Structure 1
Amino acid sequence: PVLKLAIPVIVRKGASTTTASISDIQPIVQNEQVEELHFSLHRQGNFSLYGNVELYEKNGEQLGSRIGFIRGIALYTPTLKRLVKVRLSQAASLTGKEYLLRFTEDEKFGGSNVIEQTITF
Structure 2
Amino acid sequence: MDDKKTYKSITNDIGVSVEPFYLDQESEPDEGRYVWGYQVQIENHGPDTVQLRRRHWIITDGNGMTQEVEGEGVVGEQPVLEPGEAYEYTSGAPLRTPSGFMVGSYKMQAGDGTYFDVEIPAFSLDMPTSSRRLH
What TM-score bracket applies, with the shorter chain setting the length? Answer: 0.5 to 0.7
* Matched-pair contact (CA < 8 Å) for 1:105–1:113: yes
Distance 2:104 2:20 in 1: 12
Alignment RMSD (CA, Å): 3.4
Structure 1 unaligned spans of 5+: 1-17
Residue 47 in 1 paired to residue 43 in 2?
Answer: no
Matches within 5 A, 1:17-32: 19-27=13-21, 29=23, 30-32=25-27
Going from structure 1 to structure 2, the CA distance change for 1:93 and 1:37 (only over 3 Å counts) comes to: farther
Q: How many residue pairs end up in the alignment?
A: 100
- CA distance 1:66–1:117, shift in 2 (3 Å): same
Q: Highest relative contact order (Cα 8 Å, sep 6+), 1 or 2?
A: 2
Q: What TM-score do you get using the length of structure 1 for normalisation?
A: 0.58
Give 5+ residue unaligned stretches, structure 2: 1-11, 28-33, 126-135
Match in the other structure for 2:117: 113
2:39 corresponds to which residue?
38
Moved runs in structure 1, 4+ residues, more than 6 A?
none
Alpha-carbon distance between aligned partners in 2 of 1:27 and 1:98, rounded to the nearest angstrom: 12
Percent identity reads: 6
Question: Secondary structure, in 3 states, of the residue corresponding to 1:109?
Answer: coil
Equivalent of 1:56 in 46, 55, 58: 58
Q: How does 1:52-91 map to 2 (within 5 A)?
A: 52-58=54-60, 64-67=66-69, 69-71=71-73, 72-88=77-93, 91=94
Look up the equivalent residue of 1:114 and give its one-letter code. V
| TM-score normalised per structure 2 | 0.54
